[in-house]
Amino acid sequence: QSGLFAYDPGFTSTASCRSEITYIDGEAGILLYRGHPIEQLAEKCSFLEVSYLLLNGELPTQKQYDDFVRQVTYHTLLHDQLSYFFQGFRRDAHPMAIMVAVVGALSAFYHDALDIRSKANRDLSAIRIIAKIPTIVAMSYKYSIGLSFMYPRNDLGYVENFMRMMLGNPCEEYHENPVLVKALDRILILHADHEQNASTSTVRLAGSSGANPYACLTSGIACLWGPAHGGANEAVLNMLLEIGDSENISHYLEKAKDKNDPFRLMGFGHRVYKNYDPRAKLMRQTCHEVLDELGLHDDPLFKLALELERIALEDEYFIEKKLYPNVDFYSGIVLRALGIPVNMFTAMFAMGRSVGWIAHWDEMISDPEHKIGRPRQLYTGKTQRDVLSIGERE
Ligand code: SDX
248-286: pLDDT as tens digits: 999 999 999 999 999 999 999 999 999 999 999 999 999
Confirm whether 270 is a catalytic residue: yes
Give the least confident one: 4-18, 40-54, 361-375. 4-18
Cβ atoms 115, 172 nearer than 8 A? no
Contact by Cβ (8 Å): 351, 188: yes
C-beta of 232 in contact with ligand 1 (< 6 A) = yes
* pLDDT for position 4: 34
Convert the pLDDT of each residue in 4-18 to its tens digit: 333 333 444 443 478
In 3D, which of 94, 106, 143 has the Cα closest to residue 342? 94
Average pLDDT of the chain to the nearest whole number: 92
The reply to whether ligand 1 has any atom less than 6 angstroms from the CB of 264 is yes
- 312: CA distance to ligand 1 center in Å? 14
pLDDT at residue 112 tops 90:
no
Can you tell me the distance from the alpha carbon of 105 to that of 218, in angstroms, rounded to the nearest whole number?
Answer: 9
Report the predicted TM-score, pTM, of the whole model to 2 decimal places. Answer: 0.93
For ligand 1, pick from 16, 257, 264 the residue to mutate: most ligand atoms within 8 Å of CB. Answer: 264
Range from 8-22, 158-172, 210-224 carrying the lowest mean pLDDT = 8-22
Is 75 tagged catalytic?
A: no
pLDDT tens digit sequence for 50-98: 999 999 999 999 999 999 999 999 999 999 999 999 999 999 999 999 9
Q: d(Cα 302, Cα 291) in Å, to the nearest integer?
A: 9
Q: Using CA positions, which residue lies closest to atom 24 of ligand 1? A: 269
Q: Is the pLDDT of residue 150 over 90?
A: yes
Beta strands at 30-33 and 22-25: parallel, antiparallel or unpaired: antiparallel
ipTM of the complex: 0.96
> Ligand 1: does its nearest atom lie under 6 Å from the Cβ of 104?
no
CA-wise closest residue to 201 among 23, 356, 20, 376:
356
Closest to 329 (Cα-Cα) out of 283, 271, 298, 261: 283
Query: CA nearest 166: which of 13, 4, 2, 345?
Result: 345
Beta bridge partners of 30: 25
Residue 229 Cα to ligand 1 midpoint, Å, equals: 9
Catalytic residue among 193, 277, 315, 328: 328
Atom of ligand 1 at shortest range from CA of 199: 9
Structure confidence at residue 343 (pLDDT): 92
